[in-house]
Structure 1
Amino acid sequence: MAGRAARLVLLAGAAALASGSQGDREPVYRDCVLRCEERNCSGGALRHFRSRQPIYMILAGWTCHDDCKYECMWVTVDMYLQYGHRVPQFHGKWPFSRFLFFQEPASALASFLNGLASLMMLYRYRTSVPASSPMYHTCVAFAWVSLNAWFWSTVFHTRDTDLTEKMDYFCASTVILHSVYLCCVRTVGLQYPAVARAFRAFLLLLLTTHVSYLSLVHFDYGYNLAANVAFGLVNVVWWLTWCLRNHRRLPHVRKCVVVVLLLQGLSLLELLDFPPFFWVLDAHAIWHISTIPVHILFFSFLEDDSLYLLKESEAKFKLA
């Protein structure tokens, strides 16, 4: 929900620096990469590199050029530490110790666990909530959108490329907008289905325009930041307003309040920007880990609310 927006704010800000961080501007790093590529990434040396490269690295898309950047990153980090300087960033990111083919092992694992938690809660929701519940299909669709977003988040942290970065951003935007739609259906759409359908068409057009501009015209990190902040603010304000108006009448709504407030509070972890502990665990990974129980709580709210709506609709049918 809102936490995705907070994450995008900080990711977009970091990505905007990707064209020139301190580490990759360092002459030692640039010279090291140049020499490594000349020595290893052409002719017989390249064939030798490929022959000894593990199959899992090949399948993950790691190239000789990538390997040179990785090795030279650590050469530069060692030089900085030797002279008592702060650890530099490279291409907008802290240096991470690669595990197998995982570029950011902790964040990749945390994203996978978030996806696994979402899958488990989707199974629980579909098991406990009948399809006749008014919110059933909307909630199931939201769960699948969330699963897709966590899949691409896992892939992005496993292997950071232009494609995986964009898919991570686009899926995160989709989750936020779908949460806005979910809120619209819950607060307005059940009474006025035509309004919900029109709003869904508007959100689809908005998402299509957003993704098309970033994909076909220019991937503008500043625009992406502003757009997702706006989406996130609408999401937070709408959900929180509805929750505060109904928390006394509907006790389970308090779960939603806790989710919104926790996601906003936990997003502050991203502000604690520091070199990763043991070159693996950074603030972003900690944030990902902390969101796992929050997503479980949100799906628990959706389950309770859907069962409440089903009971309410059955009561109205009997009265009729």
Structure 2
Amino acid sequence: MPLRSLPRANSTTMASPLPPCTAVIYSALAIVALLLLSATAVNASQGDKEPVYQDCVTQCVRTNCTGARLRGFQSTQAPYMALTGWTCRDDCRYQCMWQTVGLYQAEGYSIPQFHGKWPFARFLCFEEPASALASLLNGLACLLMLLRYRSSVPRQSPMYYTITAFSLVSLNAWFWSTVFHTRDTYLTEKMDYFCASAVILYSIYLCCVRTLGLKRPGVSSMVGVLLILAFTSHVSYLTFVSFDYGYNMAANATIGIVNLLWWLCWCWQNRRTLPYWWKCGVVVVLLHGLALLELLDFPPLFWVLDAHAVWHLSTVPVHFLFYSFLIDDSLHLLNTEKTGVKLE
């Protein structure tokens, strides 16, 4: 979730020079460095490279996933499992994963990852139950606050439609995040990654419209075109050239840092004129700071709760403060426009 809008500054504020942002920039660069260090390829992991795991899967598929055994599996499979695409081979991989984990634990070794992920206890059809629930809660929080925004802010507010569009982009991303954590497939993984990137890029557009576009519409239009080209290039590279996890992490981190610096500098400049500026600052710092939880990367507690799930759960409350800021700022812009004061 990116940040949001901003109010106008008086002529004195606008005439003052930009405050030094050196400390913020250094902090942002540190975050990018940590994220890049944490980016790893996930094509293969220690667990699925183990001969015992590979032999187990091969034997299981040969025994259970052909002929009468396969028809028997399909006839007894729960409807919700079939609807979410769980196959006999997937079931073999799941069972063999736990056999391999058991051997690792018996020998006193640390828990391995399989196919780039920690072993999770499947609940019904949910492959990563905690992350799926967290994504769903984020989506519900976003939807609830969007409805509150639309009921609190008149459509005449300058940022009304831009914020509504951003909310829809965010809802789409949380939908695909829920789907991906329910069932990890080639399609759901790509949709989760691409939709998350769309949110980050649209947040830059939102920032641009609020800080520059209300005064210079041509600037936001030009930035919008550039962001569309950037998104198209990003998706094309990951789809047709290489699905590079490290590159994807670096690209998203870079855009996120731009967003962070832009909003924090705006907050600093408007801290004396906008009483609600602190909401924007807290939201943007929380969103980027909480992302560092992923660096913990520990084996899931009770085989359910891992660092990724903790990160998503921690962002749920941020939506409420974020939209509180959007409502305050949108009403401020509307009142400023009605009084005929020049928007900044």
- Give the alignment's TM-score, normalised by structure 2: 0.88
**In 2, are the aligned partners of 1:12 and 1:221 still within 8 Å (CA)?**
no
Q: Which residue of 1 aligns with 2:322?
A: 298
* Residues 1:44 and 2:65 are matched in the alignment: no
Please give the residue correspondences for 1:217-296 in structure 2 after superposition, counting only pairs within 5 Å: 217-296=241-320
Task: Encode CA deviations 1:101-121: one digit per residue, 9 max, x unaligned.
Answer: 000000000100000000000
For 2:35 and 2:142, locate their aligned partners in 1 and report how far apart those are by CA, in whole Å.
23
Paired residue for 1:155?
Answer: 179
Q: Which amino acid aligns with 1:157?
A: H
Change (3 A) 1:200 1:280: same
Q: Any idea what the Cα deviations from partners look like across 1:17-47, whole Å, max 9, x if unmatched?
A: 3222111111111111010000011111111
1:12 Cα deviation after fit: 11
* Structure 1, unaligned runs of 5 or more: none
Segment drifting more, 234-243 vs 64-73: 234-243
2:118 is aligned to: 94
CA contact (8 A) 1:17 1:91 kept: no
Runs of 4+ in 1 over 3 A off after TM superposition: 9-14
User: Are residues 1:180 and 2:182 paired?
Assistant: no
Letter in 2 for 1:174: A
Report 1 or 2 for greater relative contact order, CA contacts < 8 Å, sequence distance ≥ 6.
Answer: 2
Gaps of 5+ in 2: 4-27
SS at 1:316 equivalent: coil
For the pair 1:110 / 2:122, whether they are aligned, the reply is no
Instruction: Indicate conservation of the 8 Å contact 1:80/1:86, yes or no.
Output: yes
Q: Corresponding residue for 2:223?
A: 199
In the alignment, the residues of structure 1 paired with residue 272 and residue 180 of structure 2 have an alpha-carbon distance, to the nearest angstrom, of 41
Query: 1:309: which partner in 2?
Result: 333
Over the residues paired in the alignment, what is the CA RMSD in angstroms? 2.1
What is the Cα deviation at residue 13 of structure 1?
Answer: 5.3
8 Å CA contact 2:260–2:285 kept in 1: the answer is: no
1:10 CA displacement: 5.9
1:243 deviation in Å? 1.2
Distance in 1 (alpha carbons) for counterparts of 2:284 and 2:154: 26
Q: 1:142 is paired with a residue of what secondary structure? A: helix
Structure 1 Cα separation of the partners of residues 45 and 143 of structure 2: 37
The superposition leaves residues 258-317 of structure 1 with CA deviations (integer Å, 9 ceiling, x where unpaired) of: 011112221221111111111011111111111001122111111110000001000117
Q: Secondary structure at the match of 2:259?
A: helix
Tell me the matched-pair count. Answer: 315
Identity across aligned pairs (percent)?
Answer: 64
Flag the structure with higher helix content: 1
Alignment check: 8 A CA contact 1:23 1:29 kept:
yes
Q: Is the 8 A contact 2:138 2:312 kept in 1?
A: yes
